[in-house]
Every structure is written in structure tokens, then in C-alpha cells.
Structure 1
Amino acid sequence: MQVLVIGSGGREHALAWKIAQSPKVAKVWVAPGSAGISEIAECVEISASDFRLLADFAEQKRIDLTVVGPEGPLTLGIVDEFERRGLRIFGPRKDAALIEGSKVFAKSFMKKYHIPTGFFQSFDRAEEAKRYIQEIGVPLVVKADGLAAGKGVIVCFDLPEALDAVKKIMEDRLFGDAGERILIEEYLEGEEVSFHALTDGDAVLPLASSQDHKRVFNDDQGPNTGGMGAYSPTRAITEPIQQQIMERIMIPTIRGMAAEGRPYKGVLYAGLMIRAGEIKVLEFNARFGDPETQPLLLRMKSDLVPLLEAVVDGRLRDQTIDWMPDASVCVVMASRGYPGPYDQGALIAGLEEAAAEPGVMIFHAGTSCMEGQILTGGGRVLGVTGLGQDIQGAIATTYRAVKKIHWEGAHYRTDIGVRALAKAS
């Protein structure tokens, strides 16, 4: 069979890499892809947001399955367009992807279906939002309602900072149209984890646990990013905790979406806060996490393609997933300035040496190729991902490879996975 993966980041590189290993797959296409992805799949110069042209391509090439990586095409309706043409595609339809596309919708949905989350209030006028903040005080969280590449969240610990967050999002339009409405939410303390599950709209099959590092600097300092690294598994999700997540969050969400007339098929990714055994939802995402996908797929023993097909065809209930006992860590190497304006076009050195490290896979998140040279082409550039017998071993493997890679202005955190070691001690 032929598979088309849509996107160009580290998540899509990992998906294409795993899909290409399937004995069922003869060819993998990726649109638009990247310099790194082109080494394992054939890249097509079609934007991930041009879903009519993508559907044309899928028809012309007789693509058997399309897998959507980023959230943007999902919220714009790519699945609806493909299904209208009778094309098989993995991901939720537009009305279901709204669970990520609008944080106001998601929070209101959680309230209606009694899915545990923090208190919240939404606003479409800045002055009203500022008055509310002065009434309730800090700490609190200010969020843009729409998609903001994982950066539309500002945690505020003092009043001037909170008022300024409203100004930046709603008046200065820091995140563009995503900030037409905002949410002001309860600040939740605890351990933040990522929980992924496949679903065909009925059955819900959990993936292995993982944990992301959102802040740009060590010790969770600095602004939020799309993610600076991740590891799997996390000790924060024990078997009783996972059972609670499934029973109180994931299954009720899928049932609630069906009751709303928005049947949800694809992968549902919940960002959760766990404290003293109590679990609350921070947000839902309508796609695989990035960078969580990289360590997850490195650990997955099962063939991914039959799982994706079972979701599309409504046969997920009979599926299981086998995982390596090893741990995996992904360290994101970013461009100078990220998550703000960042440098591009720097020559990357050391990729071959790093890739030669045993147990390492380097996923390209934002690269380009010029005259045979690999250059930086995004804010997040590489997702260096390694295996180890445990988290400590995976950290050592990954950072050995990271230290072999260089470009002017390269930035990465040096503490990815360290919190797992502290928890274990």
C-alpha cells in the first residue's frame, strides 16, 4: 500500500519513519516534508494547508491511507474533504477537531460532561478580562482561544503580568486571530503529563505514557514553546492513574463528542495535571503530540499501520499495542531566539556522527537542504531521540548524540528527563 503523511516537522518525520517499517507499505509520501524526511520518503511540494490539492494528489497516486500530522489542516477540514471523495484518512473531522481548535469550546464541553478541569471564564473584550483578573487575583493562566502552535498560554504570577498578557494577546495580537477570544483559567499545580489514545469513535486504546517539557529554558523557566523535549514512559502515570484517566477523561470525552454529534476518530491527546492522585485536564489536542510522538514511536514494537487502519475502519476494539521495555528521551535542538523571532539558514554540522550513536534516531523538525548541505529552517530544528534501559540510560544516549551536533546559535535544554530521575530517587 501507499501512505501519504501530511506535515513537515519532527512528529511527521517520526510517523513516516515508523510507517515505512511496515511490511504492508510499499511507498511513503510526505507533503511537504523536510530535508531529513526526504531520506526515508518521497517529499511532495504541497502545503499541509492546501487540502484540496492534497486530495487531488491522493486520488492521482491512488494513496491507500493519508495520515495528518499537524492540527491546522484538521481544524480546517482536511478529513471532511478526503472523506467526501472516498479517500481513507486518519484524523478527526473539522467539527471534532474543534476540541483543539477552540479552547473555549473544549472547556465548555468539559464542564457539560463533568470532565475534571480547572475553573475558567472566557472573554472577547480586553477590558472585561482585565476587570475579571483584578477581581480574582493571581496566579492564573491566560490563553488564546485558537491555535497558536503551542505558544498561546501565558502563566501569570503577579497582577501586572496578567494584565499585560491580556494586552499582548487581545490588543497587540501576539498570536493573531487566535487571540480574538481568550480564556482565563485556574492555575493548576502538580506534575504535567501527556496522555495519548487512539479511538475509532467507540473504542479507546491508550498509548504509552509520556511527559513533555514546554518551557524554553532549564528548570521550566521562560515562555512556553511547542515543546523542548519529552520522554517515555513517565512514573507519574501508574496503572491506577491510567485507569482513572481512561474512566474519567478519555472514554467520557469520546462518548460526549458522539452525543454532541461530533464523532471523534483519530488520536486524542490530553494534557493533564496530576497532584496527589487528582487529575485535571489542561487541554485537549486533536493529533499526536510533538515532541512526544518521537519517543513514543521509538518505543513502539507493534506495526503502526494496522492500528491507523483500524481507527479509520472502526475496528479498533480488537487491537493491542506492544511496547519495548526501554525508555526513550527526545531533546529538541532549536534556533536562537525561539519561541520568538529566530535565525534561519545556519549550516548544521555533526549529523552523521550523531546518527551513528547506537540507539539514536534524529528527527528533523525544521531543516532545509541546499547544495547537499543541511541548514536550519525553523524554530525547532531537530528532535534527537535515544533509547536506554531506563530514563537515565536514555538521557545519556540522547545527550551523547546532541553534543555531536553544532550550528551557530543552537539552543537546547540540558535537563530533559531529569525530573523523572528526581522522582525515582
Structure 2
Amino acid sequence: MKIMLVGSGGREDSIARNIALNHELYSVLTNENPSIIKNSKKYIFYDKKRHDLIADFALKNNIDIAFVSPDGILANGLADDLIKNKIKTASPVKSAAMIETSKAYMRYIMEKYNIPGNIENATFNNKDAARDYITSMKDVAVKPIGLTGGKGVKVTGIHLNSDEAVRYACDIIDRDGQVLIEKKETGEEFSLQAFSDGSHLSFMPVVQDYKRLYEGDHGPNTGGMGSISDRDFSLPFLRKDTPERAKKILNKIIEAMKDENNAFKGIIYGQFMETDNDVKVIEINARFGDPEAINVNYILDDDLGIIFHDILSGNVNRSIKYMRKATVLKYIVPPGYPENPSKVRIKIDKTLNSDVYYASVSGTLNDVETLGSRSIAIIARGDSIEDAYLKCESDLNAIHGEFYVRHDIGDIRKKIKN
């Protein structure tokens, strides 16, 4: 098939390589990702004001399936515009993507359909009411309603004290008109992604993302500094029934959206938290996670293009094959990331044993310039998380330049002891 991919981060690089194994790849890029360019038969650059040019590119090249990957582009309605032009698109339309682009809509769906895992929450457009709610709740998560790239959510006791939480909530109301405030939950977070045809789900292995910038899970939130998965498709520090409970929640969300006449077709991904006696929904996303997509695509032993076809034909409930391997991924970021990132050059030895996925960079496969966000991901497979961790750490010696990386990602000894 001829498959058109929109996006050019590390997540999209992993998608692109899997597509190119069996199909012709055509790409719509947001930056000059050297790996995606290498794997593409043709490519153009994304212009959010000219969706007509992207549709023309697809039509002129007789594209069989389009896949729109980044959340911001889904929010901008590109999938809708492609579908209007009779281009088959295995990504959610704008209204379905609201499960991510509007946190208030996600909580509304969970409350209306009494879906397990919801968190006590309220939405405010009045500063005094928000202040009173925070004061009464004491420990809260303060969230903008829309997209934040993983960086907008702040939690009392971690990022803010109660007075700072009030000020932050008021600032969001001033900027966006409303704010979502949720009860603070504590526990082990994990990600569960699934392919959806609107009625059925096929689940991917469980992944854990490391959001915080610094080792030991300190510092500001980021888009994700790295991630891990295990060979049994769960994680050794989760309870045995936790993944199944998360799967039931995602199935109920898909059923609810279908009942709302807003069927979700594409990739749905839940960010969950295992608390002392429950599984809670932190957020629901309308696309592959980044970096979580790289972990699952790195062990995918199936044809991603055919899976996209299954999304459109209603057949994702078939068994999708994955290698029985653990993975550890570490993102390399420029100095000053995420608030004041520098532009630096990074060189990659050809002798690297692990795989490199390219994100916010331009240049060649062995010499890139960072563009301000997460730069390159190093990922290794192993028979255990520890095995993959040691391989990944060793291969960091083949990366040269001024950058920051979290060395503790994949070292799960403390998690297992707890």
C-alpha cells in the first residue's frame, strides 16, 4: 500500500520505519527528520493553514491510507479534511480527538456513563470558586482543559503549594477561560495504548513513561524523558489484575463514545495510576504516546500498515503479534530543556548497538542539530528490563555532544522492592 504519515518526531520515526518495512511511505513533515526522510518515497512539509495542499499530495500520489499522528494536528482537524477529500484516514476526527483535546469532555464521558477509574473533579471559569475548591480539597492537580504537551499539569506537594495552586488556576482562567481541578491521587503511573476501529480494541504492551526532568522523578514535567516495557507485556511492580482493569476502562470509553455518535477510530491511549486499591484514569489521549509508541513499535512483530487497514475495516480485534522482549528507552534533550533549550550539535557513532530514533532535529543520521525539544531516543531490547537498561546505558557512550539524559530510567530495583 501507499501510506501517508503526518508528523516527524521520535514517535513518528518509529511509525515510519514500521510502515516502510512493507509499504511505500509518503510523509508530511514538521521538521527535517533525517530518518523519516530516508524512509520516504516522497515528502512535503506541514502547513496548518493549507490542509488542501496535503490533500492534493495524497490524491496525486494515490495514497491508500493516511495516518495523522501528532495531537496538535489532530486538534487542527486535518483528519476531517482528508476524509472530506475521500482519503481513507486511520486517525480520529476532531470531535473524537476531544477525548484528549478537552480534559473536561473526557471527564464528562466518564461521569455520564459511570465508567470506573474516574477522579473527583470540577471545572471552573470563576476564580473565587476555583480558590474555594482548592482550599477545601487541599491536595489537587491543576490542569488546563486543552493540550499542554505533557507540561501544563501541576500538582500540589510536587510542583506547587496550595497558594501557588490557586494562583496557577487563576492564571489558566485568565488565559483560557476555564480550568480543571482534580483530587490528587498517588500511586504508580503506567500507559496502555490500543488500536480502535470504533467498536473493538486491540491492546499493546503496558509501558511506563518517566515524565519528570531529573533523576529520582524530580523537577518539572516534560513530554517524557524515557520509558520501559517488559517481556510479559505488563510491569513487574504492578498488581497482576491492574492491566485488565485498565483494559476494561478503555473498552467502556470506546463504547460510550460510540453511544455518543462520536466513534473513535485510531490509536487511543490511557494514562493510568495504580493506587492502593484501585486503577484511576489520569488522562486519555487520542494518538500514540511519545515515547511509549517507540517501545511498542520496537517490538511489534506485525504489519503496521495492515493494522491501519484493520482500523478502517473494523477488524482490530484480531491478535496482533509482539516480540517477547523488554525495552528501555532514554531521550536525549538539549541543555535547558524544557523551558530554555539550547541549539547544539550531537554526533552519533556508526558503531552504536542500540537503535536511535530521531525527533526534534535536523541534519544527517550521524550528525544532527537540536531544534529545541526532545532530540533523539536511544532504545534497547533485552530478555529483562535490567538487560535492556544495561545495553541502553552502554550505548550512550556512542553519543557525543552537550546534552542531558536521565540515567536512572530502566533501573527499577527500588520499584520492585517497594
- Change in CA separation of 1:168 and 1:415 when aligned onto 2, cut-off 3 Å: farther
Partner of 2:350: 352
Q: Are 2:209 and 1:205 equivalent residues in the alignment?
A: no
Within the candidate set 209, 216, 221, 2:218 is matched to: 221
How far apart in 2 are the matches of 1:82 and 1:371? 31
Give the aligned partner of residue 323 of structure 2: 324
| Alpha-carbon distance in structure 2 between the residues aligned to 1:209 and 1:77 | 29
2:393 corresponds in structure 1 to: 399
Cα distance in 2 for partners of 1:308, 1:228 equals: 28
**Residue 59 of structure 1: CA displacement?**
0.7
Given the alignment, which residue of 373, 376, 387 partners 2:381? 387
Shift in Å, 1:133: 1.4
Q: What do the CA deviations read for 1:154-206 (whole angstroms, capped 9, x no partner)? A: 111221231232244344x5xxxxx4321111111111000011110111111
Letter in 2 for 1:201: G
Say whether the 8 Å CA contact 1:104–1:122 is kept in structure 2. yes
Aligned match of 2:105: 105
1:324 to 1:348, Cα distance in 2 relative to 1, 3 A: same
Partner of 1:86: 86
What's 1:253 paired with?
253
Cα drift, residue 314 of structure 1: 1.6
Residues in 2 aligned to 1:351 and 1:107: alpha-carbon distance in whole angstroms: 47
| C-alpha distance in 2 between matches for 1:85 and 1:223 | 42
Deviation at residue 29 of structure 1 after TM alignment: 2.9
2: distance between equivalents of 1:54 and 1:161? 44
- Cα distance per residue 1:57-85 (max 9 Å; x no partner): 10111111111110112122222111111
Tell me if the contact between 1:391 and 1:421 (Cα under 8 Å) persists in the aligned partners.
no
Q: Does structure 2 retain, via aligned residues, the 8 Å contact 1:67–1:89?
A: yes
Deviation of the 1:371 alpha carbon: 12
Do the aligned partners of 1:30 and 1:42 also contact (CA within 8 Å) in 2?
A: no
- The one-character-per-residue Cα deviations of 1:211-250 (angstroms, maximum 9, x if unpaired) are 1011111111111111110111323556632322222x11
* Deviation of the 1:373 alpha carbon: 4.3
CA distance in 1, matches of 2:199, 2:413: 33
Which among 156, 179, 186 is matched to residue 183 of structure 2? 186
Matched residue type, 1:392: E
C-alpha contact 2:211 2:222 (8 A) present in aligned 1:
yes
Which deviations, in whole Å up to 9, do the C-alpha atoms of 1:343-398 show, x marking residues without a partner? 12x11123423xx31xx211111111289942111310011111111100111111
Q: Deviations over 1:287-330 (max 9, x none)?
A: 0000001111111111211111100122223x211111110111
Quote the Cα distance in structure 2 between the aligned partners of 1:155 and 1:418: 25
> For residue 414 of structure 1, what is the amino acid of its counterpart?
H
Instruction: State the alpha-carbon separation in 1 of the partners of residues 365 and 290 from structure 2.
Output: 29
Q: In terms of mean alpha carbon deviation, does 319-328 or 4-13 score higher?
A: 319-328
Runs of 4+, deviation exceeding 6 Å: none
The residue number in structure 1 matching 2:60 is 60
Name the structure 1 match of 2:73.
73
User: 1:315 is matched with which residue?
Assistant: 315
The yes-or-no answer on 1:413 pairing with 2:406 is yes
The residue that corresponds to 1:299 in the other structure is 299
Q: 5 Å matches for 1:25-64?
A: 25-32=23-30, 33-42=32-41, 44-47=43-46, 49=48, 50-64=50-64
CA distance in 1, matches of 2:217, 2:142: 18
Provide the residue aligned with 2:11 in structure 1. Answer: 11
Which consecutive unaligned segments of at least 5 residues does structure 1 have?
174-178
1:195 corresponds to 2:188: no
Amino acid across the alignment from 1:77:
G
Give the drift of 1:261: 1.3
Number of the residue aligned with 1:176: none
Q: Normalized against structure 1, the TM-score is what?
A: 0.91
- Give the % identical residues: 30
Question: Match of 2:327, as an amino acid?
Answer: S
Amino acid aligned to 2:241: P
State the Cα distance separating 1:113 from its structure 2 match.
1.3
Q: Distance in 2 between matches of 1:321 and 1:420?
A: 31
| Aligned amino acid, residue 165 of structure 2 | A
Q: 1:31 touches 1:48 (CA, 8 Å); kept in 2?
A: no
The answer as to whether partners of 1:103 and 1:146 remain within 8 angstroms in 2 is: yes
CA RMSD across the alignment: 2.1
Q: CA deviation at 1:34?
A: 1.1
Instruction: With the length of structure 2 as denominator, give the TM-score of the two structures.
Output: 0.92
Q: Distance in 2 between matches of 1:136 and 1:276?
A: 20
TM-superposition CA deviations, 1:258-297 (whole Å, max 9, x none): 1111111111100000123511100000000000011111
* 3-state SS in 1 of match to 2:400: coil
8 Å Cα contact 1:4/1:31 also seen in 2:
no
Query: Match for residue 423 of structure 1?
Result: 416
Which deviates further from its counterpart, 69-78 or 189-198?
69-78
Aligned to 2:241: 240
Is the contact made by 1:392 and 1:421 (CA closer than 8 Å) also made in structure 2? no
Gaps of 5+ in 2: none
Contact persistence 1:110–1:117 (CA under 8 A): yes
Distance 1:36 1:377 in 2: 15
Query: 30-39 or 115-124, which moves further after superposition?
Result: 30-39
Distance in 1, Cα, partners of 2:256 & 2:411: 37
Q: Distance in 1 between matches of 2:255 and 2:290?
A: 26
Q: Take 1:379 and 1:417, find their aligned partners in 2: how far apart are those partners? A: 22
Report what 2:370 is aligned to.
Answer: 376
Partners of 2:337 and 2:74 in 1: CA distance: 25
> What is the rounded CA distance, in whole Å, between the counterparts of 1:27 and 1:257 in structure 2?
31
Q: d(CA) in 2 for partners of 1:420 and 1:124?
A: 44
* Count of aligned positions: 408
Letter in 2 for 1:361: D
Which amino acid is 2:406 matched to? R
Q: Answer with 31-40 or 193-202: which moved more.
A: 31-40
Q: Distance in 2 between matches of 1:370 and 1:302?
A: 29
- CA contact under 8 A between 1:196 and 1:288: conserved in structure 2? yes
Describe the shift of the 1:381–1:136 C-alpha distance in structure 2 as closer, same or farther (beyond 3 A): same
* Cα distance in 2 between the residues matched to 1:323 and 1:67: 21
Q: Give me the whole-angstrom Cα distance separating, in 2, the residues matched to 1:26 and 1:261.
A: 34
Matched residue, 1:169 = 172
Q: For residue 121 of structure 1, what is the amino acid of its counterpart? A: A
Q: Which of 131, 152, 160 lines up with 2:163 in the alignment?
A: 160
